Amino acid sequence: KGKLGFLVVALLLVLVAAGCGQDSSDGQTGSGEGNGSGEATQKLVVGTDAAYAPFEYVEPSGDIAGFDIDILSAIAEEENLELDFQNTAWEGIFLALQNGERDVLISAVTITEERQQDMDFTDSYFEATQLIAVPADSDIESFADLEGKKVGVQTGTTGDIAVSGLLGATSNDINRYESTPVALMEMVNQGIDAVVADNVVILEYIKNNPDANFKSIHDDSFDVENYGIVVKKGNTELLDTLNSGLAKIKENGKYDEIYSKYFGEEPGEE
């Protein structure tokens, strides 16, 4: 009888342990086939906020896909790295890197001096800028016109930083959302006058949601931004590997191939 009790307890412990390992169930493994030497070197847990088409999004099948996913997968193939993509909320994404829950972030993350204090970025793999989305009948014509208006942003993004600069970080007129699509979706419902976010993501949303009837406004006062892949500060070995892979795919045409798959033209051609 005592033995049976022990077995039940042991079985329960095994089940609990298995359950603990399960919180990564939305994970997705892509392996770099590399040079075919068959030696998977490193399995990297990759954080991405997959609500950011076309850079990262969840397909109907549940798979995470997008430009960023293809770029990092191509790098992994060159460098024989194994990847495990994990959908990671933007608001906790940098913390997840700090505390080791993620080894790498690729999430259309803009390289900024402030972020460089806390983490390391690869070379730029994409150039972006902010763009303003407004209802098609809006009279807003420029960034400066946002003064006195209600503006939606994704919390802690460079869009948030830009709007905070204009309206003041504590302004009641800034409405912060957990994701950029939610901000855009809520623009009409919540009486917001404009949303400021990365240009390509706004254009993609407008293209995919013609019924929303939004238009976009470009403003020269927005900085040029560069996206980098992120690793923990001081992880120079991984940083060098990623930079080496990035250089290779830029060199061998793989980058251009992925770029035209998503954007229909080669980088640099307008």
- Binding residues for ligand ARG, per CB under 6 A? 49, 52, 56, 90, 107-110, 157-158, 180, 198
Shortest reach from residue 214's CB to ligand ARG, in Å:
18
**CA 109 to CA 61: how far, in whole Å?**
25
Give the gyration radius of the chain's Cα atoms.
21
DSSP H helices, the chain, are: 2-20, 67-79, 90-98, 113-118, 158-167, 180-189, 199-208, 236-251, 254-263
Distances in whole angstroms, Cα of residue 145 to Cα of each of 150, 155, 163, 177, 219: 11, 21, 11, 21, 11
Residue carrying structure tokens 């809006």: 138
| 130-135: strand order across its sheet | 174-177, 151-154, 194-198, 130-135, 214-217
Q: Which is nearer to ligand ARG, 90 or 125 (CB)?
A: 90
**CA 50 to CA 35: how far, in whole Å?**
29
Shortest reach from residue 115's CB to ligand ARG, in Å:
8
Give residue 148's region: left, alpha or beta (phi > 0; psi -120 to 50).
left
Q: Which is nearer to ligand ARG, 80 or 180 (CB)?
A: 180
Shortest reach from residue 50's CB to ligand ARG, in Å:
7
CB 166 within 8 A of CB 146: yes
**CA 64 to CA 126: how far, in whole Å?**
19
Shortest reach from residue 205's CB to ligand ARG, in Å:
12
Structure tokens that stand for 9 in this block: 């307890």
Shortest reach from residue 118's CB to ligand ARG, in Å:
13
Shortest reach from residue 109's CB to ligand ARG, in Å:
5
Shortest reach from residue 200's CB to ligand ARG, in Å:
10
Q: Which is nearer to ligand ARG, 77 or 198 (CB)?
A: 198
Structure tokens that stand for 11 in this block: 């079985």
Shortest reach from residue 158's CB to ligand ARG, in Å:
4
Peptide bond into 181 cis (omega under 30): no
